[in-house]
Structure 1
Amino acid sequence: MMKRLALILPLAMFMAFVAIAVFGLGTPQTRQIESAMIGQSVPEFELEGLSDTKPGLASSDLKRGTVTLVNLFGSWCLPCRIEAPQLERLAAEGIVIHAIAIRDEPADVEGFLTQYGDPFTRVGLDPRGRMQIELGATGVPETYLIDGSGIIRRQWIGEVRQEQVADIIAEVRRWQ
């Protein structure tokens, strides 16, 4: 009896562990860490741009009465490539989108915009990733809705997906 229990108990524990792992991995994760900056004014910053035709971005650009989206991205970021068509759709709807290129080189950013589309009015270069920290971002891509007074109203963590486009348009229109 003891020998049988000594064999069954570890096997039962192992099977319980496997069941928990399988069901836990299959459950979608809904928890995300929202930036503490939601409801706050954008931090003061001024970022260099790509060129004369693609100016940089400063906090003052976000306080001129226009509701905007600010997208943190990198040319090295695979999910940023996935979200590119959705950002193009948003820009086609008349939504102003600015970008902050995190830890990137200007030539790489230009190549990315040429290959995947350029929905951005302004692109600020942030080679050290300071704005990622200042905005409370957990990574890239992340997109922020900024009202016309420069207050951060909403955050989308991860790539903008096709099914989110209508929600984002509605949110922008709500704050206009």
Structure 2
Amino acid sequence: MSVGVDPAAGAGAGPRHARWLLWLPLCAFGIVLAVVLWGLFLPADRTVYSAMVGKPLPAFTLPAIAPGKPGVTDADFRRGAPRLLNVFASWCVPCVAEAPQLLTLKAAGVPIDAVAIKDTPADVAAFLQRHGDPYASVGSDPHSRLQLALGSSGVPETFVVDGRGIIRLQHVGDIRPEDVPELLQALAAARTPGAGTAR
């Protein structure tokens, strides 16, 4: 007894297979396009950290810009106690977002000095009146010279500086509520000699 092959079945398989081959390049293109778009829109860490972490502050003297407050010098950071150096600007939206956290740090007894970038006395005064004033001193950096010397890539940025004037930690971006304990811990660690870190 012989087994026969239905010619109709074999004839139908060819065109179906050919249709799949037509769709294959389109599917491959769709997959490649999806991967490329995913890579473009995936948030990447493009943060640039300062090479100054673990090194002394550069020498600087900044004139006062806030009414009733002194300017800032590097000597202010060599008085034996750790301090924060906050780089901000009145025109900076994330600086507004971090203002409550700076006030929390001030209330915890943290001394905070500031560098106002490309700002005016009137704008700084209005900013501090509107959002609170956590600063012991505020210096003017109209041409971003100190900002560049610190290796700061934007505003806001905050540096933990130990009592010998050594930068122990860099916090890039606005300080959020969850960052406050880390900064307090870094300030406590800055009371003893050791290497700094960037974050």
Tell me the TM-score normalized by structure 1.
0.90
- 2:176 paired with 1:161: yes
- 2:143 paired with 1:128: yes
Task: Provide the secondary structure at the position in 2 that maps to 1:153.
Answer: strand
Aligned-partner Cα distance in 2 for 1:5–1:134: 60
**CA drift at 1:112:** 0.5
Aligned-partner Cα distance in 2 for 1:51–1:101: 9
Contact 2:66 2:124 in 1 (8 A): no
Which stretch has the larger CA shift, 31-40 or 58-67? 31-40
- 2:33 paired with 1:17: yes
Consecutive unaligned residues of structure 2, counting only runs of 5 or more, are 1-16, 192-199
**Which AA in structure 2 matches 1:50?**
I
Aligned-partner Cα distance in 2 for 1:148–1:10: 64
**CA drift at 1:51:** 5.0
Question: Deviations for 1:132-157, whole angstroms, at most 9, x for unmatched residues?
Answer: 10000110100000000000010000
Whichever of the two has the greater Rg, that structure is 2
Task: Provide the secondary structure at the position in 2 that maps to 1:88.
Answer: helix
**CA drift at 1:22:** 2.8
Aligned-partner Cα distance in 2 for 1:111–1:52: 10
Aligned to 2:10: none
**CA drift at 1:34:** 1.6
**CA drift at 1:2:** 8.6
Aligned-partner Cα distance in 2 for 1:153–1:108: 30
Aligned-partner Cα distance in 2 for 1:102–1:10: 52
2:154 alignment partner, one of 95, 114, 139: 139
Consecutive unaligned residues of structure 1, counting only runs of 5 or more, are none
* 1:15-54 matches, cutoff 5 A: 15-22=31-38, 25-26=41-42, 29-30=44-45, 32-50=47-65, 53-54=68-69
1:90 alignment partner, one of 82, 92, 105: 105
**Which AA in structure 1 matches 2:38?**
V
- 2:132 paired with 1:117: yes
RMSD value, Cα = 2.2
**Which AA in structure 1 matches 2:89?**
G
Distance change (3 Å), C-alpha of 1:47 and 1:6: farther
Question: Deviations for 1:23-75, whole angstroms, at most 9, x for unmatched residues?
Answer: 6634x544632210011110010001125621000111111112100000001
Aligned to 1:58: 73
Aligned-partner Cα distance in 2 for 1:42–1:164: 23
**CA drift at 1:161:** 0.7
Tell me the TM-score normalized by structure 2.
0.80
Aligned-partner Cα distance in 2 for 1:138–1:148: 24
Contact 2:65 2:120 in 1 (8 A): no
Aligned-partner Cα distance in 2 for 1:40–1:160: 22
**CA drift at 1:18:** 2.1
Aligned to 1:104: 119
Task: Provide the secondary structure at the position in 1 that maps to 2:75.
Answer: helix
Question: Deviations for 1:81-133, whole angstroms, at most 9, x for unmatched residues?
Answer: 00000000000000000000011111101110110111000000111111110
